[in-house]
Amino acid sequence: MTRKLSLAFALFLFFLFPLAASAGQVTVFAAASMKTALEDVAADWQRQSGHKATLSFAGSSALARQIEAGAPADLYLSANSGWMDRLEEQGLLRSGSRSDLLGNQLVLVGPAGTAPQPLDSTLIDALEGGHLAMALVEAVPAGIYGKAALEYLGLWTDIAPHVAQADNVRAALALVAIGEAPLGIVYATDAQAEPRVDVVAEFPAPSHPPITYPVAILTDSKADTVQAFLDYLKGPVAKKIFLRHGFTEPPQHK
């Protein structure tokens, strides 16, 4: 009888502790451009709180579609408002949890040592028969911003046939870093995170919609630490880390 009770108690503990551990763990779906900075933020959060944030990075569009399909995430960090709006319209965000967390800057990069490049009709010549690396221009925020900027500058029609589209902005960055593309459009934070590229031009702010990173808790989140982690993301320690990685304060929308 004692042995049966001990076995039952052991089974109880086996199931209890994994559940307790998972309750304190936050699953975060975040735009690929946040990878380097958010990994530092999550590591600091774990040191301070003892709780873990599990991070999943991809294009904002891919993550939003996964959430729509029922993926078990607690927190969503998008690189534009459009995909967050889409989830909010479907009732997938916890009421009152959404806010704008960060901003960024759009830049043109080339392999390290590439000379500065004017953002004019000579851009095609600078490709030297190669491709301009961009994230998906109809879905991924960095690609959407990049296409808008090229349209504003009157360059899109000519440059479009020379664009190599990647699943997310970090994939576009990698094409430039490994020399597969002579130029690419990414965020300033991506360029800062990759020593194999140099910024060769900065797109003027009026050339594209304001780059905004909204964050929100998902309606189905069961993590008991998700609000604490969101508060930490919005707090001074995390903000200092984000700014160090090149992010900016979120733009003020008019």
Same domain, 136 and 152: yes
Strands 26-31 and 53-58: parallel
- Domain assignment of residue 3, yes or no: no
- Domain membership flag for residue 186: yes
Structure tokens that stand for 196 in this block? 């194999």
pLDDT at 146: 98
pLDDT at 67: 98
Label residue 24 by pLDDT band (50, 70, 90).
low
Same domain, 191 and 237: no
Are 163 and 73 in contact by the 8 Å Cβ rule? The answer is: no
Mean per-residue pLDDT for 20-43?
87
Same domain, 113 and 74: no
Q: Looking at residue 253, what is its pLDDT?
A: 61
Residues 6+ apart with CB under 8 A from 61: 83, 136, 139, 140, 141
Task: Give domain status of residue 6, yes or no.
Answer: no
Q: Are residues 71 and 192 in the same domain?
A: no
Contacts of 186 (CB under 8 A, 6+ apart): 33, 106, 107, 109, 142, 169, 172, 173, 176
% of the chain exceeding 70 in pLDDT: 90
Does any domain span residue 4? no
- Between vectors from CA 217 to CA 212 and to CA 219, what angle results, nearest 5°? 130
Which CATH number covers residue 80? 3.40.190.10
- Short-list 216, 238, 143, CA closest to 186: 143
Are 112 and 154 contained in the same domain? Answer: yes
**Structure-token match 């004692």, residue found:** 2
Is the model's pLDDT at 78 over the cut of 70? yes
147 shares its domain with 189: yes
How many domains does the chain divide into? 2
Which residues define the annotated binding site? 33, 60, 142, 169, 187
The domain in which residue 180 lies consists of 106-207
Residue 1 lies in a domain: no
* Pair 220, 90: CB distance under 8 Å: no
The string of pLDDT tens digits covering residues 80-123 is 999 999 999 999 999 999 999 999 999 999 999 999 999 999 99
**What is the structure's pLDDT at 252?**
81
Torsion, CA 133, CA 134, CA 137, CA 140, rounded to 10: 150
Rg (CA), the chain: 21
Handedness of CA 218, 58, 169, 247 (dihedral sign): positive
Domain match, 79 and 43 both: yes
Is the domain of 172 the same as that of 85?
no
Any domain includes 131: yes
On whether the CB atoms of residues 211 and 106 are closer than 8 A, the answer is: yes
Tell whether 124 and 188 lie within a shared domain: yes
Kindly state whether residue 8 falls inside one of the protein's structural domains: no
**Where is average pLDDT lowest: 5-9, 204-208, 217-221, 243-247?**
5-9
pLDDT at 6: 43
Whether residue 53 contacts residue 45, with contact meaning beta carbons closer than 8 Å, is answered with yes
What does the pLDDT look like over 152-206, one tens digit per residue? 999 999 999 999 999 999 999 999 999 999 999 999 999 999 999 999 999 999 9
Output the known binding site for molybdate: 33, 60, 142, 169, 187
**For residue 23, what pLDDT is reported?**
53
Residue 199 lies in a domain: yes
Q: Among candidates 254, 228, 243, 244, which has minimal Cα distance to 103?
A: 243
Report the C-alpha gap between 83 and 87 in whole angstroms.
7
